[in-house]
């Protein structure tokens, strides 16, 4: 059975670059893999086909709405299941994710399907990530205009590892943040989504509290996900306020983990 890729994207035509050209184009033509695209605008419920809104707490840019994305992901997962995919993952292409390397390519290649979410603007509502995403994947510590190019990088890196895609089977074997922190969580309307409410501080209208919360979340996320980045930040010097915020985050995180563990007993 061919590997199945389903991509959630506002710009499906961009994927012609890999489905109609080069090694990946030939591989698709020869049915080594299938690729299907889903536009979140097709899952909206107003005449404007709105897929984004202003972020809670203020700030520049827009955030992608959770509902159209979730409906698109659900449709993609149902299609994969109907196609016979037995084991799949939903991947959100994000600079905050696990760095794409050869080991991850091989790991994902053990599955039979992937649903890839290509974000735009300032990102997607964090509740969509919590509800639908199995893993976040990054192709590097830099910023692009959207997740389409990272999705294509991931697809290309996986397809060329598929047996028979390259003429010489040995070819694949011989292939050789602005402030140093990860981003904070983003939220947009509605205020309550599937029982999950936007953090109160973002609706307070108090820019001092909001900025403090965002900095703390950025520090905490970096501590949890990229301790190597945090080590560099510490080496360069952190303020007393940043150290205090990080310690508060660690204390709250560990208390919450203990509470969850006790609830499982």
Is residue 160 among the annotated active site residues? yes
Is residue 95 among the annotated active site residues? yes
Is residue 107 among the annotated active site residues? no
Q: What's the rounded Cα separation, in Å, for the pair 59 and 257?
A: 31
Query: 190: cis peptide before it, omega within 30°?
Result: yes
User: Which candidate in 175, 241, 247, 248 is catalytic?
Assistant: 175
User: Which candidate in 160, 189, 209, 212 is catalytic?
Assistant: 160
Q: How far is CA 261 from CA 63, 142, 205, 248, 264, in A?
A: 33, 36, 35, 20, 5
Strand duo 192-193 + 63-64: pairing: unpaired
Q: How far is CA 32 from CA 104, 160, 162, 173, 182, in A?
A: 20, 10, 8, 18, 36
Contact 146, 209 (CB under 8 A): no
Is residue 236 among the annotated active site residues? no
User: Which candidate in 40, 55, 68, 95 is catalytic?
Assistant: 95
User: Which candidate in 12, 53, 122, 209 is catalytic?
Assistant: 122
| Active site members | 95, 122, 160, 175
């Amino acid at each position: 059975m061919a590997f199945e890729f389903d991509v959630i994207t506002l710009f499906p035509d961009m994927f012609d670059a890999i489905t109609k050209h080069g090694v990946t184009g030939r591989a698709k033509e020869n049915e080594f893999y299938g690729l299907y695209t889903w536009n979140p605008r097709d899952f909206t419920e107003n005449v404007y086909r709105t897929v984004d809104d202003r972020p809670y707490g203020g700030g520049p840019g827009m955030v992608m709405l959770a509902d159209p994305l979730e409906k698109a992901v659900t449709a993609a997962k149902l299609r994969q299941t109907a196609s016979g995919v037995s084991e799949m993952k939903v991947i959100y292409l994000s600079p905050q994710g696990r760095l794409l390397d050869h080991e991850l390519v091989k790991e994902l290649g053990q599955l039979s399907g992937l649903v890839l979410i290509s974000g735009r603007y300032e990102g997607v509502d964090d509740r969509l990530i919590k509800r639908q995403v199995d893993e976040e994947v990054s192709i590097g510590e830099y910023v692009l205009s959207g997740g389409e190019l990272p999705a294509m990088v991931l697809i290309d890196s996986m397809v060329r590892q598929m047996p028979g895609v390259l003429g010489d089977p040995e070819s694949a074997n011989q292939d050789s943040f602005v402030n140093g922190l990860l981003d904070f969580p983003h939220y947009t309307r509605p205020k309550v989504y599937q029982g999950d409410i936007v953090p109160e501080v973002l609706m307070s209208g108090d820019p001092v509290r909001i900025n403090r919360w965002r900095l703390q979340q950025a520090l905490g996320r970096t501590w949890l996900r990229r301790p190597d980045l945090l080590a560099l930040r510490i080496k360069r010097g952190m303020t007393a306020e940043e150290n205090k915020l990080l310690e508060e985050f660690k204390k709250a995180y560990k208390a919450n983990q203990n509470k969850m563990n006790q609830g499982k007993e």
